[in-house]
Amino acid sequence: MQKTHLTGLAQAELSEFVASLGEPAYRARQIFQGIHARRLRAFDEMTDLPKEFRASLSDRGVISTLTLESRYLSTDGTRRYLFKTHDHRPVETVFIPEERRDTICFSSQSGCPLQCTFCLTAQLGLLRNLTAGEIVEQIIVALNDAYGVGVKTPRGTNLVGMGAGEPFLNFEELMKAIRIMKEPTGLHIVPNRITVSTAGIVPRIRELASTPDRPHLAISLAAPNDALRDELMPINRKWPIEELMAACKEFEKSLKPNQRFTFEYVMLDGVNDSDEHARQLANLLNRHALHAKVNLIPHNPADPLPYQPSPMKRVEAFRQILEGKGAHAFIRRPRGRDILAACGQLAARGAPVQVEKTASAHRIA
Ligand code: SF4
């Protein structure tokens, strides 16, 4: 009999599971708190449950399925975790310490089926979708590692679904994980603290627009016209820019007046970073009357990707053109590049050799 992964069960499902073992409903609440609030990783650590019950739980269920293979620490404090699933698929998670609030970047798929040419993950192809439980587990392990098992996060945590995979191709499990994580008796990370990034899966952007309790939305754009976007992000051939912008407009209409969604624009030296590209991008946003923020992200280079990051002077000039035409543009500082933890660098690799040799970056198995 296959064991049930309890970390991916909502409270009601956990109650049913517990009832099937002939136990009262309050046991489900204890288990839920044990997994999500106390962030325990084994039934044996749930000492508030009778020993025999813990034994029967172990026979029928499991709470930790991800095995930590490696943990890499960047010179800037960023941590990258490389896990293996029970069926040996790689999963990567990144913890990014920040001044105001720490951020965890999680993966929604092992590998990714989309073929964005500036992204290392694309080279893995899709290995499989992750389950809601596997998504939640990534957060639990990263929190425990950063703060200690069950220790309350000092300033709260932001989550971004920008790790490996296209989250909107695993929509059901993603949304289920988000519902589980928002529970006040568990992790209590509300959707307002979560941002999910898509390469432009139009039907799901529309679906999100009508979802009441939802995360923030980021759209990876990378090009201001179809010819270039077709090349950089082949998903554009299925949902070209005009269709994408129409869905974005629908999403924007569903936001409260003070809310904004975000466009992510990776800056590739000599490819998509000219003054003309900046003008095209601003005109595109203005034509659709979109008030979204634009995050400019200098590309994170990695072998064998054929791109280099735009020089900072170019990124700044690009930003100024956008601002001059009324767009709200920001420059994102790359984090964790030295350990292949930055955007577009997740491909289940070890850190480059030169990093492991420095005194300030450690590989901890
Ligand atoms: S950028 Fe995102 S959607 Fe594109 S290949 Fe990489 S992981 Fe997939």
In angstroms, the CA 302 to CA 306 distance is: 8
Is 111 near ligand 1, meaning CB less than 6 Å away?
no
Q: Which of 23, 92, 134, 173 is catalytic?
A: 92
Is 18 near ligand 1, meaning CB less than 6 Å away?
no
In angstroms, the CA 159 to CA 139 distance is: 8
- Retrieve residue 140's tokens: 């639990």
Q: Is 343 a catalytic residue?
A: yes
CA–centroid distance, residue 219 to ligand 1 (Å): 11
Name the pLDDT band for 188 (thresholds 50, 70, 90).
very high
In angstroms, the CA 283 to CA 253 distance is: 19
Average pLDDT rounded to a whole number, residues 80-92: 96
In angstroms, the Cα distances linking 349 to 32, 85, 91, 355 are 34, 16, 11, 13
Between residues 323 and 365, which one has the greater pLDDT? Answer: 323
Task: Render pLDDT for 122-137 as a digit per residue (tens, 0 to 9).
Answer: 999 999 999 999 999 9
Q: Is 92 a catalytic residue?
A: yes
pTM: 0.93
Name the pLDDT band for 40 (thresholds 50, 70, 90).
very high
Average pLDDT rounded to a whole number, residues 198-227: 97
CA–centroid distance, residue 117 to ligand 1 (Å): 9
Per-residue model confidence (pLDDT) at position 335: 81
Task: Render pLDDT for 24-34 as a digit per residue (tens, 0 to 9).
Answer: 999 999 999 99
Rounded to 5 degrees, φ, ψ at 117 are -75, -15
Task: Render pLDDT for 255-294 as a digit per residue (tens, 0 to 9).
Answer: 998 899 999 999 999 999 999 999 999 999 999 999 999 9
Is 110 near ligand 1, meaning CB less than 6 Å away?
no
Mean per-residue pLDDT of the chain = 92
Average pLDDT rounded to a whole number, residues 88-93: 96
In angstroms, the CA 287 to CA 279 distance is: 12
pLDDT over 80 (residue 361): no
Per-residue model confidence (pLDDT) at position 351: 59
**Which residue type does 269 have?**
D
CA–centroid distance, residue 162 to ligand 1 (Å): 8
- Ligand 1 atom 4, closest CA: 116
Contacts of 47 (CB under 8 A, 6+ apart): none
Q: Which of 105, 112, 116, 343 is catalytic?
A: 343
Is 124 near ligand 1, meaning CB less than 6 Å away?
no
* Coil, helix or strand at residue 110: strand
pLDDT over 90 (residue 55): yes
